[in-house]
Structure 1
Amino acid sequence: MDIIIAGLEGLNLWWWLGLAAVLLIAELLTGTTYILWPAAAAFVTALISSFTGWPVELAVFAILGVGFLIAGDRWLKPRLKSGADSGLNSRATYLVGESVTVVGGFSEGRGRVRHGDTEWSAKTEDGSDLAEGAKAIVAALDGTRLVLKAV
């Protein structure tokens, strides 16, 4: 029993930071976000370890670990998953509102436009035809096709 208490009395800032680092590495390897919360709790516990003793440190770590886990799983994880619609790795979503130039005449409301150095398949909102060289604004996306609004 004395060995356990002696070990607990050895808890300090560096021990808690080391635990936080090990947990963060484990989180990187798993990618589940469940190990992230105890790592955050270990980091916060490291910040207060200079002011308290080991019983308070363990209590703070346990309370924060469970609290961060519940809060993160309930509020942060759904927001991280909804970030899939953020437009990351999808250049076309950033084109909404941008001006494009028609490179080939439209037929039946469909044609090709140029934005920068890239050509895109496009269609008009109202099905009208645009002449070559005309300017238009990207109003929306329909799959990989730009939906245009005439200027």
Structure 2
Amino acid sequence: MDLVIEFLQGLNIWWWLGLAGVLLIGELITGTTYLLWPAAAALITGLLTLPFIGIDWPIQLLVFSVVSVALLYIGDRFVKPRLKSGSESGLNTRATYLVGERVTVVGAFSGGKGRVRHGDTEWTARTEDGADINPGDRATVRAVDGTTLVLASEA
């Protein structure tokens, strides 16, 4: 027990900065933002251990715990949704850009399903109302369902 108390009494800015660094490395590996907030709390706690402030170890642990929980709550509730909202780059979602585009039917539709061409690519397609479209006709893409284009035929 004396060894644990001796360790806790030795907590200083370098220990807290080291913990913050380890947590930041973990954050870089995982990319979840959940380790970012305890790392920030460790930095804040470390700054409070400077000689001119010099708080004791029980207060250091309390500050680290309270600040970690507060930052985790704030980060998960307010920061993380904002980070996710701007992450739709369009990479690997090429089909979503086809909504509103006109395509040409390249094979006769049967049961509302067939093939269309947009540019140099052929796509599996189906009509919204299940109607068949003749080859050479034009249609407008209304939605994308997986890799299938949902079409509205043009009269």
Q: 1:138 aligns with which of 138, 141, 152?
A: 141
Q: 1:97 aligns with which of 90, 97, 100?
A: 100
Partners of 1:150 and 1:126 in 2: how far apart? 9
SS at match of 2:125: strand
Q: 2:66 aligns with which of 63, 81, 97?
A: 63
Shift of 1:145: 1.7
Name the TM-score, length of structure 1 as normaliser: 0.61
Match of 1:129 in 2: 132
SS at match of 2:106: strand
Letter of the aligned partner of 1:65 in structure 2? S
Shift of 1:103: 2.1
Partners of 2:143 and 2:125 in 1: how far apart? 10
Letter of the aligned partner of 1:114 in structure 2? R
Aligned-residue Cα RMSD (Å) equals: 4.2
Which ranges of structure 2 fall in alignment gaps of 5 or more residues?
none
Letter of the aligned partner of 2:124 in structure 1? S
Shift of 1:31: 5.5
Task: Provide, for residues 7-56 of structure 1, a one-character-per-residue CA deviation record: whole Å limited to 9, x for no partner.
Answer: 62xx27xx64x54332121234456643232123345x39x779x83439
Match of 1:150 in 2: 153
Match of 1:35 in 2: 35
Name the TM-score, length of structure 2 as normaliser: 0.60
Task: Provide, for residues 78-100 of structure 1, a one-character-per-residue CA deviation record: whole Å limited to 9, x for no partner.
Answer: x59x98xx676443334333332
Partners of 1:103 and 1:30 in 2: how far apart? 46
1:22 and 2:22 are equivalent in the alignment? yes
Match of 1:119 in 2: 122
Letter of the aligned partner of 2:20 in structure 1? A
The number of aligned residues is 141
Partners of 1:139 and 1:61 in 2: how far apart? 52
What percentage of aligned pairs have identical amino acids?
54
Partners of 1:61 and 1:6 in 2: how far apart? 16
